[in-house]
């Protein structure tokens, strides 16, 4: 297991779920964590978990879909902990599984503003420093829905598909500065966002039928893949999409 000692990692949407797990796991491997979330209370909870375990973290409250908010909060956080070495664009919102004709314009705008525009705005803030240091890691969170794994939920799938396209485009564009850009595309994960599914017998049966490992992932299992991509073990990887999904898509 490679150390992340001396690295500063900024994780968006880190107040719960996969984002919180990303933060805690990378902190355990030595990184100082900038914990971004829209909610101050949830961000502080993640910070407290890291600090109680002996790690270093600060909260960074910002709406990733708002450029001024991102610029202000990210600048202040970097002044506190230092320049960002690893950016994890994880912030997102649930899309559900509505039929396409039931999705209104506001839902489309919100999904792309948070997922796609948010990743762009956050990357834009930390990129100049990475270029100056000729070093950096950007890890984007996509989803197996981008591969057509589900019958519905096309707007969520489209936004997550755009994240894969951004990953590949950035990987090629930023390579000359030794900035590596990769993505994770998780399958079904046990998070607060999907908590209601835990008691749904039909959903449990679907998991057993469609996922060869027969269960949903723990957030920490996704975070381990993110930590790998942040480490020197992944020094020759860029433009790749790793999909920890229990075998649902092979």
Structure confidence at residue 196 (pLDDT): 58
Average pLDDT of the chain, as a whole number: 93
Structure confidence at residue 200 (pLDDT): 65
Segments in the chain below pLDDT 70: 1, 193-200, 203
**Which residue shows structure tokens 């001024």?**
68
Residue 211 lies in a domain: yes
Measuring CA to CA, how many Å separate 190 from each of 100, 117, 140, 184?
25, 26, 19, 16
pLDDT in tens, 58-114: 999 999 999 999 999 999 999 999 999 999 999 999 877 777 777 889 989 999 999
How many Å apart are CA 167 and CA 100, to the nearest integer? 26
The SS3 call for residue 69 is helix
Expressed in angstroms, the distance from the first to the final Cα of the chain is 26
| CATH value at residue 168 | 3.40.50.720
Structure confidence at residue 198 (pLDDT): 57
The total number of structural domains in the chain stands at 1
Structure confidence at residue 193 (pLDDT): 64
The residue range of the domain holding 99 is 8-240
Closest CA to 248 of 221, 209, 220: 209
Residue 2 lies in a domain: no
Residue 175 lies in a domain: yes
Sequence-distant (≥ 6) Cβ neighbours of residue 205 within 8 angstroms: none
How many Å apart are CA 7 and CA 231, to the nearest integer? 10
- The verdict on whether 156 is a catalytic residue reads yes
Q: Are residues 167 and 241 in contact, defined by beta-carbon separation less than 8 angstroms? A: yes
Catalytic residue among 13, 78, 93, 156: 156
Note the pTM of the prediction, 2 decimals.
0.94
Structure confidence at residue 191 (pLDDT): 81
Structure confidence at residue 207 (pLDDT): 79
Q: Which helix (H) or strand (E) holds 74?
A: helix 67-81
Residue 39 lies in a domain: yes
Structure confidence at residue 129 (pLDDT): 98
Q: Which helix (H) or strand (E) holds 155?
A: helix 154-174
Residue 1 lies in a domain: no
Residue 58 lies in a domain: yes
Structure confidence at residue 100 (pLDDT): 78
Residue 3 lies in a domain: no
Residue 179 lies in a domain: yes
């Amino acid at each position: 297991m490679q150390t992340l000692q001396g690295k500063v990692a900024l994780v968006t949407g880190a107040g719960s779920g996969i984002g919180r797990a990303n933060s805690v796991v990378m902190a355990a491997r030595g990184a100082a964590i900038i914990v971004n979330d829209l909610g101050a209370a949830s961000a502080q909870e993640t910070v407290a978990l890291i600090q109680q375990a002996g790690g270093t973290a600060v909260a960074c409250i910002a709406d990733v879909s708002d450029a001024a908010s991102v610029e202000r909060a990210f600048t202040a956080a970097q002044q506190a902990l230092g320049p960002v070495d690893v950016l994890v664009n994880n912030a997102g919102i649930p899309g559900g599984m509505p039929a396409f004709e039931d999705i209104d314009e506001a839902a489309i705008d919100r999904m792309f503003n948070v997922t796609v525009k948010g990743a762009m705005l956050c990357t834009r803030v930390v990129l100049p420093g990475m270029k100056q240091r000729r070093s950096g890691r950007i890890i984007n969170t996509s989803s197996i829905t981008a591969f057509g794994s589900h019958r519905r939920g096309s707007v969520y799938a489209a936004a997550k598909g755009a994240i894969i396209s951004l990953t590949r485009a950035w990987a090629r564009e930023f390579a000359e500065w030794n900035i590596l850009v990769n993505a994770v595309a998780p399958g079904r994960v046990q998070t607060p966002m999907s908590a209601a599914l835990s008691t749904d017998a039909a959903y449990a049966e679907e998991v057993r039928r469609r996922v060869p490992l027969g269960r949903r992932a723990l957030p920490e299992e996704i975070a381990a893949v993110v930590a790998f991509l942040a480490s020197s073990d992944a020094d020759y990887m860029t433009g790749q999409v790793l999909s920890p999904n229990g075998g649902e898509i092979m």
